Structure 1
Amino acid sequence: MIMDTYMGPIAIMATTSLRATLLKTLAAMTLALAAARRNSKNATARKPAMNNLNLLVLIASGVLITALALYALQLWRRVWSKEKAQAEAITSQRERIAGDLRILASSLLDGQLPLIEGAIRIKVLLDNFDSSLSQNQHCEVFHQLFAATTQVPTHAEWKALEKSVRRQHEQHFSELELQHKAAARAAARWLLDEALPPAR
């Protein structure tokens, strides 16, 4: 009985202490729950801001990509324009050379152009027009005449030659013409009829 009486206050103290601990725990849990709710509200409040930020980043990225695509397209248009201009220039040059070749070949056939001079000029133009055409067996005579006259002076140097030397060269020209006239005329005819594109 004395023990029970003695234990009573201890039990009361233990109960009081337990209550205090429980109250503290409950208060701490309440505070934690309140803090969690606040954080949850803040997070919920931040979501629209985050969504707006994401939307802005997305729009900015789209604008940047569109701008870069337009810039790339502009650069490609410049490249295409340059390529087109170059192709047109090459085509124009080829047409001009082809026209000159037709005139030379016709003049050679009509006798309006000396055979040696015509052959040399045709050979040079053919090299600039189409190297594969220039190397065609039909055009071999132009190369032969060109090679046979490479040592002959031209223009002012020709005029400066002594008459005897000039006569020697002229004699050589006559021999070359007799030797290659038929082949040169046949080559000129082939150029006009088959090799060169028709005049526009």
Structure 2
Amino acid sequence: MTIFYIAAGLLTVVLASYAAFLLFKLQKQNKAIKQSELAQAEKHDAQMKSIIESITSIAKAMKHEQCPTIEGCIRLKVLIDQLRLEEQLKENFTVFYTVYDKTAHIPTHQGWKDLKTKEKMVHTKLMMEIESEYDSDIKQAVENVLEQFQSEERSIS
């Protein structure tokens, strides 16, 4: 009977040791998960801060006429999309989406460089018409951007 108690005691010690090892391993794994989640959250916050800073910089440049209006609208639309705002918040910026849609067919970068002068003039005329048509809406949307995102930029910092 003594051998049975010794064997049972050894088995208990082995199982308790294994349970302690698994518990230690689980704690280590949970710590790694928390660190990873924290790192992802910090990275996400940094990305959002960068996007918001870009949005406010472009809006300020547009307000002070240091950025072409059409280009600014396109850039703001793309950046605002990255924030994944609720539709209600996007309503203040619909003109950027309108301008983006109306100019989506116009080539950019190398495509623009490859256009003939006559083709560039046609697109430039269209952009000027769009800019003129939506001028007051664009100015109001730029003010909305500055109101909305400058306060968010301060709260993130």
Matched residues in 2 for 1:176 and 1:134: separation?
A: 25
Q: Which has the larger radius of gyration?
A: 1
Counterpart of 2:61 (choices 82, 89, 107) is 107
Q: Tell me if structure 1 keeps the 8 A contact 2:95–2:141.
A: yes
1:88 counterpart residue number: 42
1:73 counterpart residue number: 27
Deviations 1:52-100 (A, max 9, x none): 2221111111111000111111112222221111111111111111111
Matched residues in 2 for 1:188 and 1:164: separation?
A: 32
- Any runs of at least 4 consecutive aligned residues in structure 1 with deviations exceeding 4 A, and if so which? none
Counterpart of 1:182 (choices 123, 131, 136) is 136
Counterpart of 1:59 (choices 13, 17, 28) is 13
1:198 counterpart residue number: 153
Deviation at 1:171, TM superposition (A): 1.2
Deviation at 1:48, TM superposition (A): 2.8
1:117 counterpart residue number: 71
Work out the percentage of aligned pairs sharing the same amino acid. Answer: 23
Counterpart of 1:127 (choices 61, 65, 81) is 81
Q: Tell me if structure 2 keeps the 8 A contact 1:145–1:176.
A: yes
Deviation at 1:166, TM superposition (A): 1.2
Aligned CA RMSD, in angstroms, stands at 1.7
1:157 counterpart residue number: 111
- Structure with bigger RCO (C-alpha 8 Å, 6+ apart): 2
Deviation at 1:134, TM superposition (A): 8.9
Deviation at 1:144, TM superposition (A): 0.5
Q: 1:135 to 1:172 in 2, by over 3 A?
A: farther
Deviation at 1:195, TM superposition (A): 4.5
Matched residues in 1 for 2:119 and 2:19: separation?
A: 77
Deviation at 1:133, TM superposition (A): 5.9
TM-score (norm 2): 0.90
Matched residues in 1 for 2:113 and 2:148: separation?
A: 38
Equivalence map 1:19-30=2 (5 Å): none
**Number of aligned residues:** 154
Structure 2 unaligned residues grouped into runs of 5+: none
Structure 1 unaligned residues grouped into runs of 5+: 1-46
Whether 1:148 and 2:102 are equivalent positions in the alignment is yes
TM-score (norm 1): 0.72
Q: Tell me if structure 1 keeps the 8 A contact 2:56–2:149.
A: no
Bigger drift between 112-121 and 131-140 goes to 131-140
Q: Tell me if structure 1 keeps the 8 A contact 2:70–2:99.
A: yes
Matched residues in 1 for 2:81 and 2:87: separation?
A: 8
